[in-house]
Amino acid sequence: MRIVRLLAFGWLFQMKMLMRSSFNSWLGVLYPLFFATVAFFMFRSGGGGKPLLYASLGAAVMGIWSNTATPAGSAMARERWTGTLELQVAAPVHFALVLLPLTIAMATIGIYSMVATLLWGWLAFGIQLQITDPVAFVLAVPATIVSIGALGFVLAVLFVRFRQAWALGNMLEYPVWLIAGFLVPLSLFPSWVRPISWLLAPTWGIRAIRGAALAGPSYGDIGMALGLGASYVLIGVLLVHRALDAARDKGTLSLT
Amino acid sequence: MNSVRVFFVGGLISYRALFSWLNPWVYIPSFLVAPVFQILLFVYIGRSAKLQSDSFYVIGNGLQYAAIPCLFAMANTIAGERYQQTLGYILITPARRLPLFLGRALPVVTNGFFVSVFALVVGGAIVGTHIAAASYAPIILVIAVSAFACTGLGLINAGLGLIARETAVLSNIFFGALLILSGANVPVHNLPAWLRPVSEGVPLTHGIAAARHLAAGSSFGSVLGLVGAEALIGLVYAALGYSLIRGTETLSRRRATLERA
């Protein structure tokens, strides 16, 4: 119960903090809209035969990843800059329980981006949101957000030793947009790319959301997204110990 | 002579001091890896949407990505003075303003040019697009003109950065707008009629069109009009940007908001 409370309040607190930043809040909503608009024009003008809703849903989930990749990369660096990292590490709770709500809050901001993209698609391009399986859709969206937040958690831990981690997080924005199949079917990629895509929770998240909207039940994909998300959390928890121990040994925890 | 020194040496020192992205941990992911993946993203979306050839997206995005160094660096090297608490010292110096501010644009143009060439060469090699050897030199010239034009918009961005706090937000918005309007991924004739005149008036649109013509085998003479239009747009934006910087300088003195961050 204490852990659930910590995660819930941590998430709420971080949401409030993120919403105060124009970079993390309304740019996070606006920036993916530019890419969505380009995608809408491309799919509308092209002869690919895919429904525009295909592009709209893909662009909507792009926003969730966009809101997570760069901020998550620099999550711990930001705590360093504000001088709160040592306090959080010294707190009696496991550090992962402090960091996880932060990256999930970042992904949650993506809901605004997702809604804005779907609304923009409807208002400017006449893309109607028709959902074949509403229950699966309602389950797929939070599952995608949590799993993307968990991926952000791993990034935050992996990049802890890098001072300019935001750039590494930012670098991963396009590759995940590309190989997770947000706007491109995986079948178009070389065969060696597909196993990498399958290891990414966003791949299953967009499959689940798109499946629920366009095809029908997609509970298997929801399960895969959540399962991969849980794996990321486990990896992150194991890595965070090593990262913190190394930083303590070398006295580099607060090194900026 | 002093103005020449301020233009070249001052510009270079400001760039090295204020554009913190020159660190390899930022430079490589942001300027060398990201543009290649932007090219790949739109090449594959293009294949999925069946809209244009691969070379259309390689050239479009290779040139459009110059917007990242040109917009962000220009904002950092001028508006960044405020964050470093050095803007006041800069503005009370007797140095002439024109070389002081425009000198900072030269390294920005150079880096924008390099990033664009790198993206075009590496992105093109990965995707497998072919450009005739005779077209390389004129395309390189077009990239230089495009980087200059985009830096003109960067100067406007820097001017706005003297009155707005979040220069990164502004830069991203300009970048996103160029992604739609420059014709990098959507042919200008596929844009809504009311957007086309806007597209014609932003940097990169004519440069990208010229580079595509050259890659398709056209002579440099046949795209001279496009290159001239790109250069003219760059000059207009640079003049507007410089005026805006001077205007915001005056405004910030009058309202005592010079160091407000």
pLDDT in tens, B209-235: 999 999 999 999 999 999 999 999 999
pLDDT for the residue numbered A186: 95
Please give the average per-residue pLDDT across A61-88, as a whole number: 85
For B183, nearest residue in chain A (alpha carbons): A38
Averaged pLDDT of chain A: 90
Tokens 């003297």, residue located: B162
Q: Is B246 exposed, middle or buried (0-12, 13-18, 19+ CB in 10 A)?
A: middle
Tokens 């795209």, residue located: B223
Number of helical H runs and strand E runs in chain A: 12, 0
pLDDT in tens, B144-187: 999 999 999 999 999 998 888 788 889 999 999 999 999 999 99
State what percent of residues in chain B have pLDDT above 70: 99
List helix spans (H) across B6-135. 11-18, 24-27, 34-49, 54-64, 67-83, 87-91, 97-102, 105-127
pLDDT for the residue numbered A80: 81
Record the tokens describing residue B89, joined without a space. Answer: 């010292």
Residue B221: partners with Cβ closer than 8 Å, 6 or more residues away: none
* Lowest-confidence segment of A17-26, A98-107, A226-235 by average pLDDT: A17-26
* Alpha-carbon distances, residue A69 vs A30, A119, A145, A148, B21 (angstroms): 16, 23, 12, 9, 18
Query: Containing H/E element for B181?
Result: helix B167-181
* Alpha-carbon distances, residue B11 vs A110, B14, B15, B54, B93 (angstroms): 39, 5, 6, 38, 15
Provide the pLDDT confidence category of residue B260 given band limits of 50, 70 and 90: low
Q: What angle do CA B98, B100, B105 make, to 5 degrees?
A: 90
Q: Which residues of A touch B (CB under 8 A)?
A: 22-23, 27, 30-31, 33-35, 37-39, 41-43, 45-50, 162-164, 167-168, 170-171, 173-175, 177-178, 183-185, 188-189
Record the tokens describing residue A240, joined without a space. Answer: 């965070």
Q: Do B40 and A46 touch (CB under 8 A)?
A: no
Long-range contacts of B107-110 (CB under 8 A, 24+ apart): B107/B11, B107/B12, B107/B15, B107/B19, B107/B73, B107/B77, B108/B15, B108/B69, B108/B70, B108/B73, B108/B74, B108/B77, B108/B151, B108/B154, B109/B70, B109/B144, B109/B147, B109/B148, B109/B151, B110/B147
Nearest C-alpha neighbor of B123 from the set B55, B58, B185 = B58
Partner-chain residue, chosen from A35, A49, A162, that has the shortest CB–CB distance to B25? A162
* Alpha-carbon distances, residue B252 vs B103, B238, B259 (angstroms): 22, 21, 8
Q: Give backbone dihedrals phi and psi of B66, rounded to 5 degrees, phi first.
A: -60, -20
This prediction has a pTM of 0.93
Provide the pLDDT confidence category of residue A256 given band limits of 50, 70 and 90: low
Q: Are A148 and A107 in contact, with CB atoms under 8 Å apart?
A: yes
Residue A35 is which amino acid? F
pLDDT surpasses 70 at A255: no
* Lowest-confidence segment of A74-88, A103-117, B182-196 by average pLDDT: A74-88
B-chain residues near A57 (CB < 8 A)? none
Tell which wins on pLDDT, B239 or A245. B239
For A177, nearest residue in chain B (alpha carbons): B41
Residue B100: partners with Cβ closer than 8 Å, 6 or more residues away: B6, B10, B90, B93
Residue of B38, B45, B122, B188 to mutate for A, most A C-beta atoms under 10 A:
B45
In terms of phi and psi (left: phi > 0; alpha: psi -120 to 50; beta: otherwise), the region of A255 is beta
Q: Do B26 and A43 touch (CB under 8 A)?
A: no
pLDDT for the residue numbered A89: 86
Provide the pLDDT confidence category of residue A218 given band limits of 50, 70 and 90: confident
Provide the pLDDT confidence category of residue B193 given band limits of 50, 70 and 90: very high
Tell which wins on pLDDT, B162 or A39. A39
> What's the rounded Cα separation, in Å, for the pair B110 and B24?
17
